[in-house]
Amino acid sequence: MKLLLAAAVGVMAGVHTATWGMYKDAPHEGFSRWKYARSIVLATAIGVILAAGWGLDPRRAADLVVLFGATYAVERALAEIYKTFLRDEDQSKYFIPMQFAVFGQVVRSRGARLLAGAGYVLGLLAMVLLVDWLDRAIPDPMPLWLVVAVGGLGGWISAFGGAWKDAPKEGFQIFKFFRSPIIASLFALGLSYLSDDLVLVTLAATGYCVATTETYKTFFFPSVPRGKFAGMPVHFPDMLRRRQPFVFLYAGIWLVVLVALVIALRGVPSPA
């Protein structure tokens, strides 16, 4: 039952991320069932693996909230690694290259991209091991300032990665750069009341940071194209209408997570 529920949480995370991606991309690229389903399948597997590995039980509201965020983060990380370093795709349809680029120029050598990708993955794994070491080395209760500092790590990775990719085309934007670290750190602070595992808190904070920023950019400014399609023509204008029903599905998933969060917080003991 626990793993079935973990799979359901993975489905929710996958549908959530697939929906905001489709909502912005489909008017330019069209709707692809495989592309939409890809995140759902991947997130479902991730949800089960994380739940089994950390012993999370989605029947507990706190575990459901943490699992959703952590699954979101891992799915997004794997998807971005694939698109940046592994996938070969025509980049002329993008304003901002989606493959690995240096100063806005796509690296054509597949070997160089694979080498850079391997270094990136090793760097991510090293950071996870560092967070795990800190979690084991520092006795509980962990100082909140350390939770905030470490828990915002995913936001810093996102900030530096985004600046590397976007700044050569859009220019460096201070607010945009610091937005993700601040949001991730705040989420880490809140999630630390639901889990005492710093790795899980960091992953979940990263996931909720992505979910929040993408919700804001996608649904609060629906007529503004994503940066990668800035100035590009809309080839599938019918998708502007066809995508609308997905908003209710997307909002419904947020509602489930928020209800679980309220239930989880009600079970948190008040400070003495």
| Domain positions in the chain | 2-266
What was the pLDDT predicted at 272?
A: 44
Tell me: pLDDT of 270 over 60: no
The pLDDT tens digits of the residues spanning 29-46 come to: 999 899 999 999 999 999
CA angle 115/134/56 to nearest 5° reads 85
What was the pLDDT predicted at 225?
A: 77
Nearest to 228 by CA among 141, 182, 165, 160: 165
Is 208 within 8 Å of 253 (Cβ atoms)?
A: no
Mean pLDDT, the chain, whole residue set: 92
Is 73 within 8 Å of 210 (Cβ atoms)?
A: yes
Give this prediction's pTM. Answer: 0.93
pLDDT, mean of residues 6-18: 97
Q: 253-257 long-range contacts, Cβ below 8 Å, gap at least 24?
A: 253/12, 253/15, 253/16, 254/16, 254/215, 256/12, 257/12, 257/64, 257/65, 257/68
Tell me: pLDDT of 74 over 90: yes
Tell me: pLDDT of 227 over 50: yes
Predicted confidence band at 269 (pLDDT cuts at 50, 70, 90)? low
What was the pLDDT predicted at 176?
A: 84
